[in-house]
Amino acid sequence: MSEEAKPVTSIKTPMRLEYRYTAGEATSRFLRGIAQGKILGQRCPSCKKVYVPPRGSCPRCAVPTAEEVQVSDKGTVTTFAIVRVPSENIDVPLPFASTHIVLDGADLPFFSVVQECPVEKIRIGMRVQAVWVPKDELGPTLQSIRYFKPIDEPDVPFEKLQEML
C-alpha cells in the first residue's frame, strides 16, 4: 500500500468553544439576589416546592413560578464526589468534594464544593454554610459564593434526608 493509500486513523486539532448565555427573567432575579448576598428561589403555586436556582417554571407540575422566596445559605449535603484528578479548568485545590446541597427552605439540591474540611470527613447529611466573597466583591455570579464549609450542627438523619429528596 502506498503512503497515499493508507487510511487516516486519527488527527489532533486545537478546538475552541465560545458561547454566550443570556439569563432569563427568573435567573436574572436570582443572580441579582446573589449580588446582594441573598439566595432567591421560586415556589411552585401547585406543589409548593421551592426551586433554587429558579427556572421560571416547575419541572414537576409544568406551571410558571413567580413567587420569590429567600432561602438560607445553610444546607445539607445530600450526595458528593471526591475530585482528585487535576484539570486546567479547575482552580480549586485537589482533592475537593463536589456536592449537592439542599439549602434550608429549598426543595432542589444546589451544586457547589465543600472546603475547610478534609475530604475524608465529608458525609451525606452534613450541615454546611456558604462562604461568600467580601461584600465589595459580590456580583451577579455564582462565584460570589466561594464554597460551602461544615458548621457545628448535627447531621440530618437518613430518614429526614429521604423526605427532603
pLDDT value at 3 more than 80: no
Q: State pLDDT tens for residues 101-139.
A: 999 999 989 899 999 999 999 999 999 999 999 999 999
Q: Residue 1's pLDDT band (boundaries 50, 70, 90)?
A: low
Calpha distance 6→1 (Å, rounded): 7
Angle at 127 between CA 126 and CA 132, to 5 degrees: 125
